[in-house]
Amino acid sequence: MKYQEKRKSLYGLVASLFLVVIQAFSPVAAQCPVLVGGSDFYDIAHSDTLWAGDLNLIETVGPEGSKFTSGIAFADSAQAFQDPTTTVYAVTTNPHLLDSTYVDVDQNMLVACIGAKDPEKYTNTKLISYKVGGIEKGSEFTIEFDLYGVNGTKYGIGKGAQSWDPYEVTVGIDLDQYGASASKVSKSYRVDPGTKNHVTMTGSLAAGLDYIKLDVIAGYNYVAGMAIGITNLRIKGCYKPHVTSSMGIEICAGEQALISLDKEYNAESYKWFSSSDGKTFKEVGSKKSLYEELKQTETTYYYYCLVNGVNSDTIKIKTITCCVDGEGNPMSRMDVFYDDFGYFDDWHTYTDAKGNTTTTPATWAPERANVTFDLSSTGMKFDPSGQINDDSYGVVVPSPTGYFQDISGNSRATWMNGVASDHSSLVTGKSGGGALFMNVTQNYSDIIFTRQIDGLCTDKNIFFETYIANMSGGFDPEVTINIKDAGTGKLLASDKKVATANSGWIRVHIDEMQVSSPSIVLEIVSTGTGDP
């Protein structure tokens, strides 16, 4: 089953009854550096009629999870750049569209401007920051980008200044409030109006850091009205791919397991290798994931992946005999409950997890469906056609540009791009996979999802897993998964996870529990922690 939510508390959920743990093992050396992040500053919501966009809508390259931020305000119109008092940024296709005195160059870029009101307070202000996580500690990196002085001339710069001096910006890795870098990588650049500078920085991460964070800050020498542009950003380094198993490291012989990476790496090549002795590996796949049937009992299987030539850790999966057929042959466990919230063949043709296909009303938003069970006790209401505001839910199709938020099919919730697709698409290979999206009110602490599961065998061990995702990246909400006896209300098992921003789908699981009645209740609880 899958469950998911929006900006303040956005989660996603896929349930079946399994277990996942990872063990590290590295049979080959990493081939670094590789592309780990960057951007051409293309606005994913851009159209020919738009002049600019927000950092949250910027298309990036490399693995998912990188994030832009800024210490100054987003300009909601071009006029903000022409106001002599404002300090703002925007992403544009041409700086000239922001202010007629800026250079006229057809190039996507981020433009940041410091206004004339109290300009001295913006010394060491972070005009832009870009963070890439999952990097090998102590590894080497290279950063390159183009830095423009977008003011067109020394005089008449449109901000009330009467003269112009070259201004200064400082570029570095993880700069503190004084512009110092823990990795000892920083440099000041003189930026002349109307010029383009190519910036190249190399270094090694400071001890303990597992991320690269590029900071561009205002220097000590600048005048009000200075405006810079940044584009063609590329970061090369050494990331650390991790391998996961949908069934865990100990599974029943005869079961199938999805062997996949911890996130979307957007790599050009994937090479999967397996071994039954941990020494001799053979290539077994070239896609983003593997779907393997592990037939031999009492055997340890080893898997790792080369991602653009960089080796992942290695997962070790041991098979055991759980069930046998009438002839004593090992059998896999059975799914007693599974819900992936279905998929859409087109905008209004929906197939649920049980295979029932329906046509959704034309008055509903494209790729929008309701659940087949009752959520009224949680106070959540189905929104068939709108933005899915607070206290509302809907089955939607996640995408890099968000989900459809009205019936026209022309408007998407572009901020809802924490994951590029539904999690079950990794297993089924089907596009248009649905996920349950729930928008929880700020600081809400209570049950947001509940469902009774019937028809269980008593006095048997069962396993549970689901996947959640933070869809907006603004905060890191926390959820608790509870499984209770439907008859007595007794808590049988629980797991708690934080839906960390920009971390893709996060697995929540309960390794093992014994049920004594044929029905259990699954609860998803928002703890209120991590919300604004």
Answer whether 86's CB lies under 8 Å from 99's CB. Answer: no
Distance from C-alpha of 261 to C-alpha of 244, rounded to nearest angstrom = 6
Structure confidence at residue 36 (pLDDT): 92
Q: Which CA distances in Å does 215 have to 175, 179, 187, 398, 528?
A: 6, 9, 11, 30, 32
Q: Which CA distances in Å does 469 have to 10, 11, 101, 169, 261?
A: 6, 4, 44, 37, 16
Sequential DSSP letters for 359-416 = E--TTSPTT-B--SS--GGGT-EE-SSS---TTEEEEE---TT--B-STTSS-B-TT-
Structure confidence at residue 80 (pLDDT): 86
- Rounded to the nearest angstrom, the gap between the alpha carbon of residue 315 and the centroid of all alpha carbons in its chain is 23
State the amino acid at position 354 in one-letter form.
K
State the amino acid at position 324 in one-letter form.
V
The two structure tokens encoding residue 355 = 């295979």
Closest CA to 380 of 1, 14, 4: 4
Answer whether 435's CB lies under 8 Å from 497's CB. Answer: no
Rounded to a whole number of angstroms, the distance between the first and last alpha carbons of the chain is: 27
User: Would you tell me how many other CB atoms lie within 10 Å of the CB of residue 293?
Assistant: 10
Answer whether 32's CB lies under 8 Å from 137's CB. Answer: no
Contacts of 521 (CB under 8 A, 6+ apart): 450, 451, 452, 453, 483, 484, 485, 486
Contacts of 137 (CB under 8 A, 6+ apart): 205, 207, 208, 209, 210
**DSSP code of residue 328:** S
State the amino acid at position 236 in one-letter form.
K
User: Would you tell me how many other CB atoms lie within 10 Å of the CB of residue 519?
Assistant: 15
Structure confidence at residue 200 (pLDDT): 94
pLDDT (tens digit per residue) in 436-469: 988 887 778 888 888 888 877 676 667 777 888 8
> 173 forms bridges with which residues in the sheet?
214
Distance from C-alpha of 104 to C-alpha of 89, rounded to nearest angstrom = 17
pLDDT (tens digit per residue) in 74-122: 887 888 888 877 889 988 888 988 888 888 889 999 999 887 656 567 7
Helix (H, G, I), strand (E, B), or coil: what is residue 119? helix
The two structure tokens encoding residue 340 = 């992936």
Contacts of 194 (CB under 8 A, 6+ apart): 103, 149, 151, 152, 153
Distance from C-alpha of 143 to C-alpha of 504, rounded to nearest angstrom = 25
Residue with tokens 């071994």: 275
Structure confidence at residue 195 (pLDDT): 86
Distance from C-alpha of 497 to C-alpha of 429, rounded to nearest angstrom = 27
User: How many helices and strands in the chain, by DSSP H and E?
Assistant: 2, 37
Sequential DSSP letters for 168-231 = EEEEEESB-TTS-BTTS-EEEEEE-TT-EEEEEEEEEPPTT---EEEEEEE-SS--TT-EEEEE
pLDDT lower than 70: segments of the chain:
1-31, 44-53, 116-120, 153-166, 221-223, 322-335, 417, 426-429, 457, 459-461, 473-474, 511-512, 530-532
